[in-house]
Chains A and B, each alone.
Chain A
Amino acid sequence: MTSTAAVSMPSSEAEAVAAVTEQPFATVLAGGTLLVPQHTLGQVAVERAVWLGRAEMDGISRSNGRMTVGAAAPLAACTRLDAPVGPCAANIGDNEVKAQATIGGNICSPAPYGDLRGPLLALGAVLRWADPDGTHTGGIADFAASGGARPGMLLLDVAFAVPEAGSFVALRRHHTQSLTAMSVSAVRGADGAVTIAATGAAPDACRLHAAEAVLAGGGSIADAAAASVSDADPYDDALASAAYRSRVLPVYVGRALEQLGA
């Protein structure tokens, strides 16, 4: 089932913002890896769509120690970024999917998609998005609090300070088609402080503040790993049980911190 929805193809970010935020709100088409099959199978109704492929929103740049990644940058390009973002992007889908899917689409997709929210949370990344009220900036949590992915909103880019070191570990996928049940990202900033975030430990990506506090207080990796479960909100789904998530989280926190050299 395919609708006859009109698709506009803006040639700049400004045109894309105007096209997405005007009434009636349009559906954003970036890589299409989720939207196109849902549309084909009649699972989503699309009256008007805006394709970002020509909007020049796929740039990746580094300036003054900060990376800025356009929302339409494909995951294949993101795999070349340092940990934790690069290895996380490499752990999503297969080569063909990575060539097509975008970082913005991943950030805006609901769990258990949205793998990159973990690394970006650990990095303290700043998102920039537009809606009918203007352009906004904020962290992953601010973006979610604003309503996250919603009609009339366009994610523009994501920026973060290049860390001193980063690490990423994830539960092994059985196949490139499989979703990742849990991952842990750790970052050591220029000030030496370590930040840690996980996906799959709670219904959405979460910071592991208790583990960070243990490290900041001079505690061991083992103690930090043990403390990590206090920030978790484990849940059952088709990928893993809550009990399994509780058991695995400290193991993966430990591995991420060892990889980081914490």
Chain B
Amino acid sequence: MELTVNSVSCTVQSPPLTSLLNVLREELDITSPKAGCESGGCGACTVLVDGQPRRSCLTALCTVDGAAVVTVEGLGTPEDLSRVQQAFIHHYAAQCGFCSDGMVVAATAYVNAGGSDDTDAIREALAGHFCRCTGYVKILEAVAAAARGDELDIDSTASSANNTYVTIAGAES
């Protein structure tokens, strides 16, 4: 089977019913898609398949033969992060980080499709994604900022009228 993963052409040897998640993690050593529930319910394994968000744990390899797959590794580089990645940093939208890869991928699809900063629309787009840290407020703010095209400074954390943000560097008001 042939896949283009993060713009790199790959010939994969896994059996055809292998989940795309296991192909990425076990054969191609791409570990941003997380094996969370492995039954389609948590969203942590979400990747883009031909531009559309897909649960890689529900997707058999044979059904994506020839497709273009994008994971977080293909969205940006540490020196040139994607807009959604920058928004997640600026708005401190990651806590433990386990859900972040799936959230970022799904949010990228939402923003690329012209999604608005409407909170209900973002909730709908990310409805299949669990954050066990319950950091949903920051995630919604980050996706809204990316959708609006806000100026994003990843060296500072967004302030909020209602909260005191505690960053790795310390408390900010």
Contacts and interface: CB of A to CB of B under 8 A. Distances in A.
Contact of B41 (A32, A53, A100, A177): A177
Given A37-B19, A93-B128, A176-B127, A7 B58 contact: no
B55 to A, nearest CB: 5
A233 interface: no
B128 A36 contact: no
Interface in A1-20: 2-7, 9
Contacts of A129: none
A33 B58 contact: yes
Interface string A30-44: 011101110111000
A169 B127 CA distance: 20
Contact of B128 (A29, A41, A95): A95
A86 B42 CA distance: 24
B53 interface: yes
Nearest to B37: A177
Contacts of A175: 127, 130
A168 B53 CA distance: 28
Interface stretch (B59-67, B88-96, B165-173): B59-67
Contacts, number: 96
Interface residues of A, number: 31
Interface in B31-77: 38-43, 46, 52-55, 57-60, 62-63
A99 interface: yes
Given A2-B15, A37-B19, 20 more contacts: A2-B19, A29-B62, A33-B55, A33-B58, A36-B17, A36-B57, A37-B40, A37-B57, A39-B60, A40-B19, A40-B22, A93-B128, A96-B40, A96-B43, A96-B55, A96-B128, A97-B55, A99-B54, A100-B55, A175-B130
27 contacts: A2-B18, A5-B16, A9-B62, A31-B58, A32-B60, A33-B55, A36-B17, A36-B58, A37-B19, A39-B60, A40-B57, A41-B38, A49-B16, A51-B60, A51-B62, A94-B128, A95-B53, A95-B127, A96-B55, A97-B55, A97-B128, A100-B58, A175-B127, A177-B40, A177-B41, A177-B42, A177-B130
Interface of A: 2-7, 9, 29, 31-33, 35-37, 39-41, 46, 49, 51, 53, 93-97, 99-100, 175-177
